[in-house]
Structures are given as structure tokens and as C-alpha cells.
Structure 1
Amino acid sequence: MSKLRRNRLTAAVHLTLLLALPTMAAAQDAPKEENTLDTISVTGSRIKQTNAVTAQPVYVMDRAKIEETGVASVGELLQQLTASGKALNAKFNSSGNFGYPADGGGIGAGSAQVDLRNLGSQRVLVLVDGIRWVNESSASGVSGSADLNTIPLAIVERVEVLEDGASAIYGSDAIAGVVNIITRKNFQGAEVHTYYGQYSRGGDTKEASFTFGTGGDRWTAVFGASYYDQERISSAEWDQSSFPVPGGGLDFGSSGTPQGRFRFCDPAIAAGPGSCSSAATYYNITLNPGTTTPIFVPGNPNGGTYNQFDSADRFNFAPFNLLLTPSERKSLFASINIDLSDNTRLHVKTLFNNRQSANQAAPEPIFVGPGAGTGGIADTISIPANHPFNPFGIALDANSNFLFIGRRPLEVGPRIFEQNVDTWYFNVGLDGLLDIGGRSYGWDANYVHTRNSATQRFTNGYNIAHIRTALGDPAVCAATPGCTPLDLFGGQGRPFTRAMIDWIVTDQRDASTQELDIFSANVTGDLFAIGDRTAGFASGIEHRRYKGDFDPDPLRQTGESQDSFAAPISASYDVTEVYGEFNFPVMATLDLTAALRFSDYSTFGSATTGKAGFRWQPIEDLVVRGTYSQGFRAPNLGELYGLTQFGATLVDPCGPTNQVVVDTTNGISAGLEAACVAAGVPNNFEQANTQITTFTGGNPDLDPEESDSWTIGAVYSPGWAEDKSWSRKLDFELGYYRHKIEGAIQANDLQGLLDTCYNAQNGTGPACAPFTRISSGDLRPPNNFLANLGQIETDGVDIKVNWLSPEWGFGNLSASLQSTFVNDYEAVDAAGNVSSRAVGVEVGDSAIPEWQSNLQLGWQRGGLGFTLSTRYISSVEESCAGVEGLPGCDGVATNKLGATTYHDVQFAWKNAFTMEGLKLSLGANNVFGKEAPICLGCSLNGYDAGTYDLPGAFWYVSADYRF
């Protein structure tokens, strides 16, 4: 049920495609026969295929199709697939400022991943030439997903996407599908490629590559070097970042303001010592703009230089963010094949890729006091009455009268997270043909070592232990070398001095590494004859060793970083697998396939997975096919051993941001009012900080995920549309898919649990277990660790149509359509709580549109070509809970994010200016500058960066010269 089978199949694909079978290679290189169906591929099977359409659905993008998209990276290419869901890309600007997700994989800052069927990138297997690729690290954890930015587009010959579960073929991770990236091999001559593009708001993108191929009678070699540079775009370039604040207007801006927010109680004003037990007696004030000398009037929140804090005082952090993160990548690639004999070949492949990228966030706010909700040092900080900058004349005691101070010192500068990632890949092996008993068998043996190593430098972060000293007893600070009392009270009118900044600011450096070693051996060929056909097989053995290390900065490990806590990881495991795959032609028109894989893991034991399928061709023009697959995903190192914090943004059912005030006159149900009162929530309560720090991470007792996948479909290539006056070729493909995952590895949906706790369980049920509150009513940091909690089910339909015209006087026309309809998606935890993520819903910065469609129309005459591509995303809706009254949520329960259509165009000129081998291209993606629909509940930039394009158009030019 695991990775062994997958890698085994991978190696088999590598053998059949690249090395062992000359007849197979010749068949792939030769033009397809006019009367065959038009989707031939071996991805998904190790057995040599002679049919144009196999039992499993595979979508193929050759180099010509890739060039027509106008994209410059593998990640961008795959994220435009209609079967693709939300995945990391350069539009995601989050880094340590949000903390780390529960899976221990880290933020993945700067990486690009692929998600299929909305099941998560960790459930998609990425292969290169049929061999498993190393997972990314990105210096923030040990991930279970591959970074596509480690694979330069310049080396790609084609991409094959298996739209089916394939654990029995490829092993673990292949639940949602498989992406197999085929590199350039039989390349003769040299090619120089240059590319320049720019968004309407900036973000210049430059790419250049050089590819050289040569060979002799018994050897071939390909060398490639590439460079990619994408510049940043500030969020301030988009009007949406100005007002209202993305994520729900000013109500969702930060309470960490430059003027400071102060929540405390004066025991004297509150009628004597011990009277600060009620949050109603607490001040909630901020400095007036322009204040240079704070003046506090006891008992009057609007007196002196202060005013009662409200939504208008919140800070708009958006202009400090990035719409597009910068990324610079350099890569070297080499591949050589040497015929050692007529039947044996040596193959060697190497790659080095370096990525330097960055994220940026608004200057880091300082939150101190129990209401900071970090679960660490900041929550325990008190400020004495004799602190030189304390204007209130009383001690602020974290154990009695002090809730929190939030202050964002703009003078420190924005938070910068800079990643430096190196990827090394080395593959050496033998492959060939072996004749036994009059039959020919292909075989291969491989050793692979690959390593992804990353460092991240975080600048303008704080040492919270130094902040504690600078806010504490002045005598202790004076006795501490370097300490300068911190002015947390003066606002922007009295900014931090250089000495203050130098004492609290510190660079933080994190590092992580993942290594993968693979030993494999495979054999494939014919078993026996069945009539005039033969039964085929593939089998093999594979051993893999995974090693991962995460070394967060010492301040993170001790909790002294104002940023998120993180614990180190250093772990490894290995797996040994054997597999067998069979193809039986039981009738002239019917083939049956079966596969079985046994995996033995050092972490949890053994598992077995199977797969069965059929291919039925009742008439020459029609193929009906189907598969059933058992899926398997072993928990990765981050999921097993990670321990971190995550800043979950929660809407408290007892807070006014949800129009819920504990007062029946405001329309609150009696049950909810009683539940909130019983929890100690006061009237007019407002959660101090909606970004609730959550302790989360891995679980060494996790079991593997298990899944069942079904596909059924048909491919129809009608003879009545072949070689006609109006059509040279016409293909239709229709496929249904269904995936069901049991024991899905995940953390609880905290928002769902919080809502269930108060709205359905009166604040006392099982869903309330993670939540407790401090005396003010504010939530304490909950724990939310990974478990085999979930069941996920999804199903839908894929539609593909391809048409080619005959040679007409004005040229050739073509049309291609790929469309995916998602019928259902439901995730349920062990307690029966249904996730809010569903078809047609925008939640958690991601959406599952009901329909996604891509249409390509092409014209070609001689060396001239034109392509018009249209990408359609159907509408989705988001809940208005917490953002009521804003545009789109005024008096309605949901905000509609309308259907979005992007149009891409490209002009291409081959042998331009009569120079043979020169190709020039000019194009624009999102040519009409369609902007993404505004998402009121999305974080950072106010739109869903995993579903929609960057706001504005992108134009580009490219030149390729082959000689």
C-alpha cells in the first residue's frame, strides 16, 4: 500500500521510456497513427503499452503545449490544471508571521506545489522521469510535499498527470494522483532561450537557459543551465490593500497599532483592591494621533491624550505585504547515456538548483500581558509603576489588573524572511534488455541520492526575553549590559530610540534539510500468450531511506522569540517494498489489469495495497475504461515529530465581531448567551487578538492514511470526424472519479469546534475541550495536535475534447477543452463535525469551485501561430460571519465571489526573419486585466491566491534559437 509500489512503477516507467526498450521509444517518437486515440502515455503502469488509450486517465502536456501557456515555471503550469486545487505559489506571502501549520512541514515560503482533486499537495506524488522527487524543506519544517521550483522548466520535455490513485503502482503519497515530469534526453545541437515578462503592477520576470545535446554511436549527453529571476510586487500597488483592510475591513485590521492599545484596570478607580475581576472595569484605550507626551486622566478613557479604542483605530497592515514574492533561481543539469553493450546501458543524471526568495510582513507588533495569548513569556510580563515610561501611575500586574498592551513600532521596519535553498540530485544506474526462452525482458537498476537544504534569515524580529527585561524593574535593566528601558507607551509621536531597538531586535536563522536515498531494481516483459496476444507483467523491489532535520533558531526553541515557537526535528525512517503488476488480454476487446504492492516501514510496520482495472474497446472508435485503487499515505517526518505554534484567526461566537454581545436585546439566542456567560464572558466582550496562538504539531503514534479510489470513463475518437473536409481528428474523453480517505491525518478545525462548542453544545460539550478563557473572557492558546481524525470524500467528472482541422488555405485550426466538475467534497472528523470546506465555498483562503475549465483555440500557418486560451472558474460563496455590514455582506448571510474568466493570447513566429531555428513569441496572460474577486475573509491581500491569478495582466516576450 505504499511508496515501494510507486517507486517500483516509477523505475519501470523510467526503464520503458528512457532506456530499455528501443521499440517503445521509437513508438513514442514516431507520429501517432491516424486511427489511434490520442492520449498515449505510460505513466500509471510499468508494463510496456501498445494501446493509445490505457486503463487509467492520463493528461499529457508536451513541450509545445507548455510553451503556448506563456508561463515560466513548472508550478505555474500545473496550478492551471482544471483538476488542481489550492497549492503554495509565489503569490503566498505568509512566513513565520503566521506561525507553522500542524503538519510539521513548515510554511514552505518561496516554494511551489501541486494539489490534485483538492486533497492537498501531500497526497500528490511528484516523479521526475518516473523516479520519486525529494520533498522540500524551505527552512521552516520537514514537509511531505515536493517543491516544483527545484525543477527548472528548461529541462522539461513533457508533463504527464495521472488523474487516478496509484499507491499500488507507485507507493505512498499517490492518493490523489501522480505528476511525472519527463526531462529532455534525445537532444541534438544547442538551444538558447530568453524570456522577459512583467505584470501591470511590476514584478519583472526574466528567464534564460542554454541547452546542449550531443552524442555518438554508443552514447548521448544533454547539458542544461538556466536562470530565473522574478521581482517583487508590493501589496500597496493594489487599491484593495488601502481600504478596507483585506480580511474584512478595519474590523479585521490589527489591534497592534503604532499608537498602542492599552487594556488594564486601575484598582482605585474600580472601587478598591481586588475589584479588577470584571473585564467591564478595564480600560481599552489608545493614544490620539500626533501625541508626543502621553497624558492619562484616571477614570476617563477619552481624557488627556487618549481615546476609547474602536475599529477605526485598528492598523492596516496590508500595504506592507507583498502581492508577489521575489524568487531567483539558478540551475545546472546533465544527463548521459552510454551503451556498455548491445543490451546494457549506463545512465547518469545530475541536477543542482539554487533558490533565493523572500517574504515581507508589516513591522512586527509587540504584545505583552496575559491577553497577548502566546502561551509563552509575553503573557507573563508585568510593568512596574516606576518604569520610566509608564504614564498610568500604577503597576500593570499580569496576575491582577493587566490584560495587554499592543504596539507596532513602524520605526523598526518590516519583517523580512529570506530563504536560500539548495537542491542536489544524483541518479546512476543500468538498464537493458534480457532474452530468456525466446522472450525479451526489460530491466533496470537505479541508485538515487537527492537533498533539499534550506536556510532562512528573519530580520526585524524581537527577543521577547529582552523586552521583558526592558519593561521590568528599571534597576534590573540598568544592571544588565545593553539593556535600555523600552518606551511602549509613546506611540509614533515618541518612537523607539536606536538603543531601544538594538536591545530588543535580533536576527533569527532557521534551517532544514531533507534527504532521500533510493535503491531499486525492476523487470518488465511478457508472461505468456493468450491467443494472438500476450500477458504482460512488471515487478521489482525498492528500498528508500528518508532523513529530515529542522533546526529552528535557538530563540524559537526556548520561546524567547516574539515570533512563533518551534522545536527541532532530527529523524529518519526507511521502507522496503516489492510489487507486481499484470495485464491480461482476456478477450480481443478486453484487457484486465491488476497490481499489488507490499511495503515494510520502520516507523509503523507493513501494509499492502492493490489496484484493478479494465480496458474495453467494443468498437474501433471507442474505449471504455475503469479502475479501482487502494490508496496509502504514510505519515511523513514532520507529521510524526513536529512541534510548533500557529496563529489561527478565529471568530469568537461570544464576541461582537460576530454581532454576538452577551445581551438578549441584541438578538442572541438564550442558549448562546447562557453559554458565554457561563464561560465568564462579560457584556460587550471583544477578543483582544483574533489571531489565537495554537500549540500544534506532530504525533508519533499516527497511522497511515488509507483510501479507496474509483474511476470510470470513455474515450471516443469517431471515424466520421477523421480526415474529413472539416476535421482531421476529433477526440472526446469523459471520466468520473471518486476518492474516499479514511484516517486522514489532520488537526481539528478549530473554528468549527469553537462554533460547535457554543452554538450546539452550550459551552460544555466535547467540542469545548481545547478552549479555556482567562478572567477577561479572552481565549487561552488551545492545543491542536495531529491525529487520524478525518474522513474525506470527493467525486466529480472530467471532460476533455480535442479537435484538429485539415490543411486549409488560410492555415490549420485546433481546439482543446479541459473541464472539471466537482460534484461533492466533504471532510468529517472523528466526532462527526463536518468541515466548512465544501464545493462552491470560499473558506480558509481556499475555494473548491464547482467548475473549472480551460479552452485553447489555435491557428497555425507555416511558421506563424496564434493561440487564445480561456480559463474559467465558477462562482463561490463565503460566510459573512464576522464581516457583517461590509460591501457584499450587508444584510446577507454570504458574500458571492463571482465567476472569473481569464483570457491569454500568444503570437509565435518560427524561423523568424528567415533565420532557421529562431522562434519569437509575444503574449499576454489575463490580457484584459481581470482582477480576482474580493474575499472579505481571506488573510493578507484580500483575495484567494491559490485559486485566482494575480490582479492585473501579465505580458511577455520570448526568443528561442536552436542551432
Structure 2
Amino acid sequence: DVFHNKTTSQFAIAPLPFDALADGVNISAQNYYNPFGVTFGPASGQNFLTRFTGLGQRVGNFTTTTDAVTAGLKGSIGETSWQWDAGVNYGHYNQFRSSQGYVYYEGLRGALGPSYFDAGTGQVVCGTNPATGGTGPIAGCTPINLFDQANPVVTDQLRQYQVTPFYTTTVINRAAEVNANGELFNLPAGAVSLAVGADYRKEYQRNGVDFVAITTGSGGTCFISQEACSTPLAGGFTVKEAYAELFIPILKDLPFARALNVTLGSRYSDYSSVGNTTNSKLSVEWRPIDDLLLRGTISEVFRAPNISELFAGAAGSAPSFSDPCIKQDAASLAAHPHACAGVPANYKGTGLSQTTAVVSGAVPAGVTLKPELGKSFDWGFVYDPHWLDGFSV
């Protein structure tokens, strides 16, 4: 079997939000266009929020390609009941994403720094005024008035710092397996059957990130908006497994035992990421009368962390939240003195419903994920009354 799929898609969302604190950008109090006389950003702790509406919407463009090849052989062993199969498969997933509508903050920082009106040129220039002891204009820098984005001139100035970062994700899976099943010997109730097999898997993931979007600080910032920052990362693991499952017919065609069968199974797994484990199961099927089947299974459960849970790169995120202290009266606030400390009665809130965060796999977060372990108990019945044709529950 050979499979190929290529998909292109696109989305558009609101223009880029600018958060001076989260994005690590300062707007100088000495900026010519700053009417407030205070510095905004990490240098002061004062925040400035806006959207770069003049640049239009943020647009994400995706090209995703998936390829898979599966090949194998199967056959029987002589004139016996035994059958076998062996196969290999290769899977390759690649996604390329580009994001329009972002701003290169390293360049923007200079444009938001100190600036003054140069009487000699009749223009506003970056730098400090030499007439008041400053160092003069900074070459190659054009001040931007973020406080007047409705001005087309400001939009044109912003566009010189516009960038379109790209990201790539590649996942490769390789696997090989061999299986066999057949009858071992006969008991009075029927043949004892065995199924055995082994497999080998190798999984690999790589995240590529444009230079301007690579996270550079502990706060998750980069050269563009924090929400678009990410970290390149590559890694993988291998899995070796072997299993056996034995079907044993215990009783057959007896009073209150039209059939009684037991299945025993066990699987050994060796993960390079989380170590080795053995997990087993016991299943029982009992048919006391022809119309009724009772069945139950006890099994050990094991799940190792998958490739993305381990090796997904750190990326900016904006999860939504709800402030439980908004619009609460004094009595309600007093009942939650820790959660709502310092909140005034009937506080209206800020209207914000998102916060700044980073999401990632376990490896870039420095967390050692362990596998999930457990036991599963399942039971049920099947009732097929012979006196009601076609009915089954």
C-alpha cells in the first residue's frame, strides 16, 4: 500500500496585538510621539496595549504532506492451521507554516526609542536633541507614532518592520513486525490456539523555527510577538515489543456450560524513553445457556508519552481565563480572602480574557514524563433469545 496526501489551508485572525510588557519592547518617555511622558514596557513596568490594525489581519498558511508505504508477506506453514505475516511500514509527515502580519521588534525598538524634532531637516528623527545635550540623530532609524495608527504614514512606517516567519514540523515513523497464529493441541472442549508476534518501531520528530521566531529569553520572547515565538527541537525514541496470547476452551456442551473459554495474554515492551514493562490480561467467556453469553476481562494498562508530548518545541500561547472575583459583593469577596485579595467590591474587571503563556513538550520544559499505568476491569453480557428472531442486546 502506498499513500500520499497533500493539503493546503489558510486561516485569518484579528490584527496583531501589541503588549509592551509581554513582548519585551520599551516605548521611551522621550519618544517624540509619546503624549504621556512615561516609559512603557519592561523598563518601567507600565504597559501599553494596542493592535497593529494598519498591517491587516494575521494570516496563517499551511502546506501539509503525508506519505506512507506499507509492504508485507503472509502465508501458511505446510498443511497445518498455522499462519504467519511479516511487514514493514514507513510514514513521513511534513508541515510548512508561514505567518503573515508580524513585526520585527528588534527594528521597532529603535523606532520607539528617544526621538525629537530636528529643526534643520523639519522632520522627527531618532535620537536625542543635541541642542539640549543629546547625541544627535541615529542613522537608518525612522520614529513611529504607535499612538496614531489611523495615520496612513504610520502604517507605511510599520510595514518596513513587517516579517513573515515560517515553521516546519517533520514526523517520521519506521516499523517492522512479524506475527504467527495457529492451533497447538486439542482438548475435549476444542483446540488450544496461540498467537505470537514481535515488532520494532522508531519515531522521530523535528521542529524547525525561523530565526526571528526563536525564543531567546526565559520569558519566552523572541524578535517578534511572544505568541509566535517557538524553539527548534529534534528527538525520538525506539520501541521493541513481543506478545503472546493463548486461547483455552475449558468446557463445551454441558449443562450450564454450553461454553467456557479463557484467554491469557501478555506483552513485553522496551521503550528507549521510559524503560521496559510487561502487561498482561485475563479474559473469560461463559455461556451458561445457548441464548446468554457472560464475559469479562482484567487487563493491565500502559501508555508511554507520545512523540509530540515529548519533543514539541516551546511555543507562545494565549489561553483564555475567567476572573472569579469580578462583580462580587463584599460578602462573597470576604469568603475568598486569598483568591480575591485586594479586589474591591463590585469590581468590573479589565475585560481581558486571555493571558500570556508557553506550551511545549516535556523535553523543552525540563520535565521527565513517566508512563501512565493502571488496571482495567470490563464485564458484560450478550443476550440473543432464540424465541425472538433477530433480537440481540
- If the length of structure 1 is used for normalisation, what is the TM-score? 0.35
Please say if 1:702 is aligned against 2:369: yes
SS at match of 1:719: coil
Q: Say whether the 8 Å CA contact 1:411–1:496 is kept in structure 2.
A: no
- Shift in Å at residue 584 of structure 1? 1.0
What is the root-mean-square deviation in Å for CA atoms of aligned residues? 2.6
Name the structure where helix makes up a greater proportion of residues. 1
Stretches of structure 1 lacking an aligned partner (at least 5 in a row): 1-348, 723-728, 733-963
d(CA) in 1 for partners of 2:99 and 2:260?
60
Compute the displacement of 1:637 (Å): 2.8
Q: Determine which of 35, 53, 57 is the counterpart of 1:414.
A: 57
Q: Taking structure 1 as reference, are residues 687 and 400 closer, same or farther at Cα in structure 2, changes over 3 Å only?
A: farther
Give the counterpart letter for 2:144 in structure 1. L
Amino acid at match of 1:609: N
Shift of 1:595: 1.2
Deviations 1:748-784 (A, max 9, x none): xxxxxxxxxxxxxxxxxxxxxxxxxxxxxxxxxxxxx
Indicate which of 16, 29, 38 corresponds to 1:385: 29
Q: 1:542 to 1:400 in 2, by over 3 A?
A: closer
Maintained 8 Å contact 2:40/2:47? no
The amino acid that maps onto 1:705 is E
Q: 1:568 is matched with which residue?
A: 232
Contact 2:93 2:170 in 1 (8 A): yes
2:147 matches 1:489: yes
Matched with 1:591 is: 261
Q: 1:582 to 1:670 in 2, by over 3 A?
A: same
Please give the secondary structure, in 2, of the residue aligned with 1:650.
Answer: coil
Contact 2:26 2:43 in 1 (8 A): no
Alignment equivalent of 1:443, drawn from 69, 77, 84: 84
2:315 is matched with 644
Query: How far did residue 402 of structure 1 move?
Result: 5.4
Once residues 71 and 42 of structure 2 are traced to their aligned partners in structure 1, the CA distance between those partners, rounded to angstroms, is 64
Deviation at 1:691, TM superposition (A): 1.4
Distance in 2, Cα, partners of 1:675 & 1:449: 52
Q: Distance in 2 between matches of 1:467 and 1:707?
A: 53
Q: Tell me: CA distance 1:674–1:500, structure 2 relative to 1, closer, same or farther (3 Å).
A: same
Whether the 8 Å contact between 2:243 and 2:267 is mirrored in structure 1 is yes
How has the CA–CA distance of structure 1 residues 668 and 635 changed in structure 2, closer, same or farther, with 3 Å as cutoff? same
Are residue 354 (structure 1) and residue 22 (structure 2) matched?
no
Aligned counterparts of 1:640 and 1:396: Cα–Cα separation in 2: 40
User: Post-superposition shift, 1:403?
Assistant: 2.3
Deviation at 1:387, TM superposition (A): 2.0
Correspondence 1:459 to 2:82? no
Q: Look up the equivalent residue of 1:468 and give its one-letter code.
A: R
Q: What's the CA shift string for 1:145-196, capped at 9, x where partnerless?
A: xxxxxxxxxxxxxxxxxxxxxxxxxxxxxxxxxxxxxxxxxxxxxxxxxxxx
Instruction: Work out the CA distance in 2 between the residues paired with 1:712 and 1:666.
Output: 53
Verify the 8 A CA contact 1:452 1:513 in the aligned structure 2: yes
Aligned to 1:506: 163
1:554 paired residue number:
211
Q: Deviations over 1:689-737 (max 9, x none)?
A: 4311123433342111113222211222222222xxxxxx2222xxxxx
- Judged with a 3 Å threshold, the aligned counterparts in structure 2 of structure 1 residues 412 and 535 are, in CA distance, closer, same or farther, namely same
C-alpha contact 1:611 1:630 (8 A) present in aligned 2: yes
Query: How far did residue 687 of structure 1 move?
Result: 5.1
Distance 1:476 1:628 in 2: 75
Is 2:196 the partner of 1:525? Answer: no
Secondary structure at the aligned position of 1:691 is classed as: coil
Taking only the aligned residue pairs, the percentage that are identical comes to: 26
> Greater CA deviation, 349-358 or 640-649?
640-649
Distance 2:165 2:250 in 1: 64
SS at match of 2:323: coil
Residue of 240, 246, 256 corresponding to 1:582: 246
Rounded to whole Å, the distance in 1 between the matches of 2:279 and 2:148 is 64
**Given the alignment, which residue of 55, 75, 78 partners 1:432?**
75
Aligned counterpart for 1:659 among listed residues 304, 322, 327: 327
Unaligned stretches of 5+ residues in structure 2 = 116-125, 129-136, 216-221, 253-258
Give the letter aligned to residue 731 of structure 1: S
Deviations 1:272-312 (A, max 9, x none): xxxxxxxxxxxxxxxxxxxxxxxxxxxxxxxxxxxxxxxxx
- Deviation at 1:617? 2.2
The 1:545/1:458 distance shift into structure 2, 3 A limit, reads same
Computing the radius of gyration over CA atoms, which structure comes out larger, 1 or 2? 2
Residues in 1 aligned to 2:81 and 2:127: alpha-carbon distance in whole angstroms = 83
Q: What is the rounded CA distance, in whole Å, between the counterparts of 2:63 and 2:18 in structure 1?
A: 28
Deviation at 1:682, TM superposition (A): 7.4
| Deviations 1:330-364 (CA, angstroms, capped at 9, x unpaired) | xxxxxxxxxxxxxxxxxxx1111111122221111
SS in structure 1 at match of 2:64:
strand
Cross-structure match for 1:540: 197
| Corresponding residue of 1:731 | 392
- What is the 5 A alignment of 1:596-745? 596-642=266-312, 643-654=314-325, 658-660=326-328, 666-670=330-334, 672-673=336-337, 676-677=340-341, 686=349, 689-700=352-363, 701-722=368-389, 729-732=390-393
Cα distance in 2, alignment partners of residues 443 and 476 from structure 1: 78
SS of aligned partner of 2:251 = coil
Letter in 1 for 2:327: Q
The structure in which a higher percent of residues are strand is 2
Structure-2 separation of matches of 1:530 and 1:363: 73
Aligned residue pairs total 356
Residues 344-393 of structure 1: CA distance to partner in whole angstroms, max 9, x if unpaired?
xxxxx11111111222211112221x3xxx3xxx24x332234232223x
Q: Deviations over 1:497-516 (max 9, x none)?
A: 44323223211111001111
Change (3 A) 1:585 1:674: closer
Distance 1:557 1:480 in 2: 27
Q: CA deviation at 1:532?
A: 4.9
Equivalent position SS for 2:362: coil
Structure 1 CA distance, aligned partners of 2:357 and 2:31? 32
Q: Could you say if the C-alpha distance between residues 402 and 649 of structure 1 is closer, same or farther in structure 2, counting changes exceeding 3 Å?
A: same
Distance 1:529 1:480 in 2: 92
Displacement after TM superposition at 1:452 (Å)? 0.7
Give yes or no for contact 1:520–1:543 (8 Å, CA) kept in 2. Answer: yes
Q: In structure 2, how many angstroms separate the alpha carbons of the residues matched to 1:592 and 1:531?
A: 14
Structure 2 counterpart of 1:779? none
| Cα distance change, pair 427–645 in 1 and its aligned pair in 2 (3 A) | same
Q: Distance in 1 between matches of 2:34 and 2:61?
A: 36
> Counterparts in 2 of 1:889-900, with a 5 A limit?
none
Offset of residue 598 of structure 1: 0.4
Query: 2:276 and 2:317 mapped to 1: Cα distance?
Result: 33
- 2:15 aligned partner, one-letter code: P
Amino acid at match of 2:211: P
CA drift at 1:530: 1.3
Paired amino acid for 1:511: T
Distance in 2, matches of 1:552 and 1:400, equals 28
* Alpha-carbon offset, residue 404 of structure 1: 1.7
1:465 to partner: Cα distance: 2.5
1:458-493 deviations in Å (ceiling 9; x for gaps): 111222323322211332596464x5322211254x
Q: 1:473 aligns to what?
A: 114
Hey, what does 1:112 align to over in structure 2? none
